[in-house]
Amino acid sequence: MEFLNTIFSSTANEAVVNLIYIFSSALFIIGLKMLGSPETAAKGNLISALGMLVAVVVTLLDQSVTNFQWIFVAMFLGASIGAIAALKIEMTSMPEMVAIFNGFGGIASLLVGSSEYLLSSTDSLGILIPTFLTVIIGGLTFTGSIIAYGKLSGRMNGNPILYKGQQWINGLLVLLLLFFGFEMIVNQGLVFTLNWQVLTAIICLSFLLGILLIIPIGGGDMPVVIALLNSYSGLAACAAGFVIQNNVLIVAGALVGASGLILTNIMCKAMNRSLANVLFSGFGAIVASGTSKGEQGEVRPIVTGDAYLILEAASSVAIVPGYGMAVAQAQHAVRELGELLEGNGTTVQYVIHPVAGRMPGHMNVLLAEANVPYDQLIEPGDINPIIESVDVCIVIGANDVVNPAAREDNESPIYGMPIIDVDKAITTFVLKRSMASGFAGIENPLFFKTNTRMLFGDAKDSITALVSEFKS
C-alpha cells in the first residue's frame, strides 16, 4: 500500500483528486437518472456503484489516510453484512431492510461528525455548523429508522403511538437541540464546559427526537416515512462532507437528499395528503376513532373453478398487486397466470399504485424479480379512464389503494386519495385471506360491491390453482 501511495502522490495532486471526484459525481447523476426507468434501473445501479468504487479508491490513495488496518477491517465487515443481507433477505422484507440501511447511513454520518468535533480544535463556523447538522440529522435518522424497521417487520405495533402534549414535547426537544447547537458553535460554556459533554447532549436529544417523530406515524404512511428517512440520511451525509471537506460526499449526499425529498413529495401527492399531515396527524388513530361509514353488505365468495371460467372468457384483465402478493410470494405465479391469459388472447396489464406495498416501488421490484415485462406495468392514471371496459380486475392483497371510500365517503380518513377504480370494472376479483382491513386499518366497501367476487385463501395458492385450471 505504501508503494501505491508513492505512485499516487507522484502523479496526482489535489486538482487531479477533485477531477476524479467530479467523474464519480457524474456517474452518480447518470446512475440516478437511469433509476427512473425500470428498463435501465439495473444498469443505473451498477453505474452508481462504480462511481462510489472510484470515489472510495481515490480517497484511500489520498495521502491524508495514514493507517489502513481499521479501514480494511471495516470494509470487510461492511461487505460481509451487505452480502449476507443481499443473499438472505426475502423480497417481502425489502422495506424493513431499506429502513435499517437508512439508519446505518445516519449513524455513520453522526460518527464522522462526532469524531471530527472531538479531534479537531477548529472554531470555524463553516465546520461547526455542518458538524451540528450532521450529528442531529444523523441521530434522528438512526433512531427513526429503527422505529420504522420495527413497525414494518412486525416487531412492534404498527399503530400510531399518541399521547397528550406530543407536539409540545417535540417542540421542546427542538429548542433544546438549538440551545446545545449554540453551545457547540459559539462555545460559550453556558451549561457544559467540555466538548464531549455538549456532543453527548446533542446525540441523546437527537436520538430521542427521532423516536418521538416516528412513533406517531401509522403503518399506512410507512412508504412516505421511508422516502423521508432516505432523504435525511442523504442530508446527513452531505453535511458530513462539509465537515471533512470531501467534495464527492457532498455531491452524493445532496443527490440522495434531493431525490428522497422529491420521492416523498410524490408519495404525499399519491395519497392527496401534505407531509405535515403524514408526520403529525396520527393517521391510524384517526382511523380507529373516525366516523367513516364502514359500508356493509353481502359478500360474494367465488371458487377457483368459477373464477377460471370468467377469466377464460375475458378479453382484458388488469392485475393490481399489493402487499398481500409480497407476503404470499406470489409474484412468479402471477407472471405465469398473466402469460397463460395472454396465450388465451387476453390483454393483460399490471396496475401499480405509487404507495402500494410498504415502500416506494415495492411492487415494481417484486414484478421485476418475476420478469414481468416492463411495458405491461401502468399507473392508475392510465387505467382509470378506461377501467369500465376492463373485463376483470384481479386485486391481489391490495386494500387501501383500491378503496372506493376515498372517492365516495367524505368522512373517510382517506377521502380524496387517488385510487385505482377497480370497483368500476365489469368484474373484480379480490384475493384475500380474510375480510380483515389493510395495513392502515380502514374498512373497504369494495368487498361488498355487486361486481366484486372474493377469492379467499393464500394468494399464491389461489393463483397457482388458476394456473392449473388453464393448463388442464
Which residues are marked as active site? 400
Q: Which of 105, 172, 181 is nearest to 136 (CA)?
A: 181
Task: Please check whether residue 429 is in contact with residue 459, taking contact to mean a CB–CB distance below 8 angstroms.
Answer: no
Each as own residue / partner, the long-range contacts of residues 407-411 (CB below 8 Å, 24 or more positions apart, any chain) are 408/445, 409/292, 409/293, 409/295, 409/445, 411/290, 411/291, 411/292, 411/293
Task: Please check whether residue 114 is in contact with residue 199, taking contact to mean a CB–CB distance below 8 angstroms.
Answer: yes
What is the DSSP code (8-state) at residue 301?
A: B
Task: Please check whether residue 327 is in contact with residue 92, taking contact to mean a CB–CB distance below 8 angstroms.
Answer: yes
* 394 DSSP β-pair partners: 319, 429
State which amino acid sits at residue 461: D
Residue 96 Ramachandran class (φ > 0 left, ψ -120 to 50 alpha, else beta) = alpha
Q: Which of 36, 375, 362 is nearest to 222 (CA)?
A: 362
Return the residue matching grid coordinates 414494518. Answer: 152
Query: Going by C-beta distance under 8 Å and a sequence separation of 6 or more, which residues neighbour residue 375?
Result: none
Query: Going by C-beta distance under 8 Å and a sequence separation of 6 or more, which residues neighbour residue 157?
Result: 151
Task: Please check whether residue 52 is in contact with residue 24, taking contact to mean a CB–CB distance below 8 angstroms.
Answer: yes
Residue 148 to residue 229: CA distance in whole angstroms: 9
Query: Going by C-beta distance under 8 Å and a sequence separation of 6 or more, which residues neighbour residue 30?
Result: 44, 47, 48
Provide the grid cell at 393: 380486475
> Could you give the angle at the alpha carbon of 210 between the alpha carbons of 89 and 361, nearest 5°?
40
Please tell me the number of Cα atoms within 13 Å of 129 on its side-chain side. 3
Largest CA distance in the chain: 81
Angle of helix 41-61 relative to helix 247-270, nearest 10 degrees, comes to 150
* 317 DSSP β-pair partners: 348, 392
Residue 303 to residue 306: CA distance in whole angstroms: 6
